[in-house]
Amino acid sequence: MQRQLPPGPTPWPLLGNLFQKDVLPLYNSYAKLTEKYGPVFTVWKGPKPTVVLCGYEAVKDALLGHAEEFGGRSNIPLKIPGSRGQGFVNSNENKWRELRRFTLSTLRDFGMGKRRMSDRVQEEALCLVEEIAAAQGQAFDPRETIRSAVSNVICSVVFGSRFDYKDSAFLEQMEIVTDLTDFLRSFLGIVCSALPKVMDFFPGKHKKISAEAQKMYTFIHEKVKSHRQSLDPENLRDFIDCFLIKLEKDQYHNKVIFSHEDLVVAVLGLFVAGTETTSQALLYSLLAMAKFPHIQAKVQQEIAEVVGTHRPPSMEDRVKMPFTNAVVHEMLRYDKFSSEIFPRAVTRDTEFRGHKIPLGTSVIPLFTSLHFDPLWWETPEEFNPGHFLDEKGEFQKRDDFMPFSAGKQSCPGEALARMELFLFFSTLFQNFTFQLTGDARERDLRSLYFDHMKNHLYPPLQAITCPR
């Protein structure tokens, strides 16, 4: 099999390239690996290969030009709910397609991409403003509050209600979500995914993560149970109600595709994805604006000119706010630490760019390699909103910008995430000026963010209320 795959660094027996520091993490090593092996190369995470795609041309060719071949999904060999093929993380193509189709349709029915969802995000953004204002300009850690605000948007769709920011059960789930996603991004998470049976014999954080994920599974299971008891087919409240009705209809017609387990794990997936990625992006934006006050001031000036102070920003304002929109996009581009937690897989034996990739092989399209490619971006290592502005200062879309992936496996919540990012971001900077405190002011943006990602350390911020 190794002879058929694209070239790559020589793996060690059993361990592959796991402990070769010049290979992993890929966001640090891809440039050198690409220079040596080309834009399509193979790394071995333990005894199993992963094909890595680097650069705009290779990624676009795979995800859009060969969408069917690169449209599979790898299972996660971790002992967490959903790792055995339920919900969105499964390699059953027909089941995955049907679940994605049903989820997108249901989310649209509950307003995703529509005015009522925009109103819901606006309401939550104002709750967030009120919570931050309670700090009265003192230094504070924004993580918990922002996670809760972002999560409440998807909770209102999935569970039919939002949670109070001080709700202890809700806050426990927020902590679990953060621990789980941080673990899956970490080197230990990569090792556990590559060598699950070996790691079963060792104590460590992976054991704790599995237990925490089970708590979250139980929390959602209880929500589903409560919904089943109060279900009214004439008054569907949320995603869970719609899924329960689908289960009943499929059972009646002897067309059983999903199970109760699929429902719980699908909700868990929406809950995690709808919480962590967007909240991390918003936290990153606060750091970026505090670190670059001249950009923050220009954002605030545009908000003041277009929106004023007597109403919250709306999605209709976005087209009139090209600089603010560009800052939001640049913030997504500049996040070098984002990773493909859930690799794709080829759905058949595939010939691609002169290489043979066997059926079922894991594939990682490395989006960092697109977003930091000096051939496409003017100043890739700088935080520069001008990357998304034309010569007239108008916002410009870019084909080489794929923070939500592309093709068959693109993020189903992309429309909601884009809405949340713009509305939360613009509402926060309509109301506050954010400043770093202490020695955090002297450090660069990446080291500040990396400390949070790796060590859960977040520099305190001050939120100074904007004058009216």
Stretch 128-149: mean pLDDT: 88
**Least confidently predicted of 266-280, 362-376, 419-433:** 266-280
Q: Does residue 222 have a pLDDT over 60? A: yes
Query: Residue 351: beta bridge partners?
Result: 356
User: Can you give the pLDDT at residue 9?
Assistant: 95
Q: Output the DSSP codes for 109-159.
A: HTTTTSHHHHHHHHHHHHHHHHHHHTTTT--B--HHHHHHHHHHHHHHHHT
Q: Angle of helix 260-291 relative to helix 168-185, nearest 10 degrees?
A: 80
Higher pLDDT, 434 or 89: 434
Task: Give yes or no for a contact between 173 and 274, defined as CB atoms under 8 angstroms apart.
Answer: no
- Which value, to the nearest 10 degrees, does the dihedral of the CA atoms of residues 140, 144, 149, 150 take? 120
Percentage of residues in the chain having pLDDT higher than 70 = 88
Q: What is the CATH code for 26-465? A: 1.10.630.10
User: Can you give the pLDDT at residue 440?
Assistant: 62
Mean pLDDT of the chain: 85
Query: Residue 418: beta bridge partners?
Result: none
Give the pLDDT confidence of 57-97 residue by residue, as tens digits. Answer: 999 999 999 988 898 877 665 555 555 555 555 556 677 77
Where do the structural domains in the chain lie, given as residue ranges? 26-465
Cα(415)–Cα(73) distance, integer angstroms: 22
Residue with tokens 């520091």: 21
Cα(314)–Cα(335) distance, integer angstroms: 25
